[in-house]
Structure 1
Amino acid sequence: MIGGLSRALCLAVALPSVALAEDPCADWVPQPKPQNASRDIVGQELDVIQERGFMSFAVYEDFPPYSYEEKGQPTGIDIEIARIIAEDLGVEARFNFVAAGENLDADLRNNIWQGPIIGGAVSNVMMRVPYDSAFTCRVEQVVFTGQYMTESLAIAYDTRAYPETPPVPLYFRFDPVAVQNDSIADFYLSNLAGGQLAPNIRRFPTMAGAMAALDQGAVKAVMGPRSQVEFWDIPFVEVHEPPLPGLAKSSWTLGVGVNFRYRPLAYSVDDAVRYALEDGRIPAIFEAYGVTFREPER
Structure 2
Amino acid sequence: MRHLIFSAVFHACRKVIAVLALAAAALPAHADWNKLQQSGALRVAVYNEFAPFSDHGAGIDIDLAEALAKKLKLRLTLLPFPAGENLGDDLRNMVWKGHYLGYGPADVLLHVPVDSHLMAENDKVQIFAPYHVEAVRLVRSAQAIPAFDSIEALAGKRVGVEKVSIAAMVLLGEGNGRFRDNVRIFPSAAAALEELKAGRLDAVLANRSEIEAVFRGDPAFPLAQATFQRLPRNGWAVGMAVRKDDQDVARLLQAAVNELRDSGELQAIFARHGVRMVQP
Instruction: Give the TM-score, by structure 1 length.
Output: 0.85
Whether the 8 Å contact between 2:61 and 2:110 is mirrored in structure 1 is yes
For 2:112 and 2:100, the matched residues in 1 are separated by 21
For 2:208 and 2:113, the matched residues in 1 are separated by 15
AA aligned to 1:204 is F
For 1:63 and 1:290, the matched residues in 2 are separated by 15
- Shift in Å, 1:144: 0.3
Please list the CA deviations of residues 245-265 of structure 1 after superposition, one character each: whole Å capped at 9, or x if unmatched: 343455000000101121111
AA aligned to 2:116 is S
Whether the 8 Å contact between 1:43 and 1:49 is mirrored in structure 2 is no
Residue 258 of structure 2 aligns with which residue? 274
- Shift in Å, 1:117: 2.0
Whether the 8 Å contact between 2:145 and 2:153 is mirrored in structure 1 is no
Aligned match for 1:68, one of 55, 69, 85: 55
AA aligned to 2:35 is V
Q: How does 1:1-298 map onto structure 2 within 5 Å?
A: 3=1, 5=2, 8-12=3-7, 33-35=16-18, 39-42=26-29, 44-69=31-56, 74-163=57-146, 165-166=147-148, 168-233=150-215, 236-296=220-280
For 2:148 and 2:246, the matched residues in 1 are separated by 47
Aligned residues: 271
For 1:271 and 1:188, the matched residues in 2 are separated by 36
Whether the 8 Å contact between 2:196 and 2:203 is mirrored in structure 1 is yes
For 1:255 and 1:248, the matched residues in 2 are separated by 17
Residue 18 of structure 1 aligns with which residue? none
For 1:212 and 1:61, the matched residues in 2 are separated by 19
Gap change, CA 1:272 and 1:217, over 3 Å in 2: same
Secondary structure at the aligned position of 1:247 is classed as: coil
For 1:153 and 1:268, the matched residues in 2 are separated by 31
Query: Is the deviation greater in 243-252 or in 41-50?
Result: 243-252
Gap change, CA 1:38 and 1:212, over 3 Å in 2: farther
Gap change, CA 1:215 and 1:37, over 3 Å in 2: farther
Secondary structure at the aligned position of 1:75 is classed as: coil
- Shift in Å, 1:78: 0.5
Instruction: Give the TM-score, by structure 2 length.
Output: 0.90
- Gaps of at least 5 residues in structure 2 are none
For 2:28 and 2:171, the matched residues in 1 are separated by 42
